[in-house]
Amino acid sequence: MNFNPFDLLKNPAALKDKLNQMQENLKNITATGSSGGGLVKVTLNGKFEMVDIQIDPIAVDPRDVKMLQDLIIAATHQATDNIQEKIAGAGNLAGMDMSNLFGAN
């Protein structure tokens, strides 16, 4: 399906509907990133909101909080990369070609 952005400008209500539909679709796309060999797992939705975090009890060492913080940050970065790939791969959110949204092509 070819997408012409000028068609949407002719009908602002349709543009608003498309954007609302796209936002709803983004909530349903999820991706998980992990670090420390799976000790920390972070799941984000397509709006880049953290929807889940799993921490293996082995990673919780009160003497090494810095390591746990680094693992959470690394897992979040990986989840961000993964969700960007999924969104770009979805290609058609609300009938609009989004395959180049994050420079995937």
Phi and psi torsions of 91, nearest 5°: 70, -40
Half-sphere exposure (Cβ direction) of 59: Cα atoms closer than 13 Å: 19
pLDDT, tens digit, for every residue of 1-13?
566 767 767 778 8
Name the domain count of the chain.
Answer: 1
Q: pTM of the predicted model, to two decimals?
A: 0.69
**What tokens appear for 3 in the block?**
């997408």
pLDDT at 104: 46
Say which CATH number the domain at 83 has.
Answer: 3.30.1310.10
- Is residue 92 domain-resident? yes
- Is residue 38 domain-resident? yes
Domain of residue 88, residue span: 31-105
d(CA 4, CA 14): 13
- Is residue 16 domain-resident? no
* Cα end-to-end distance, the chain, whole Å: 17
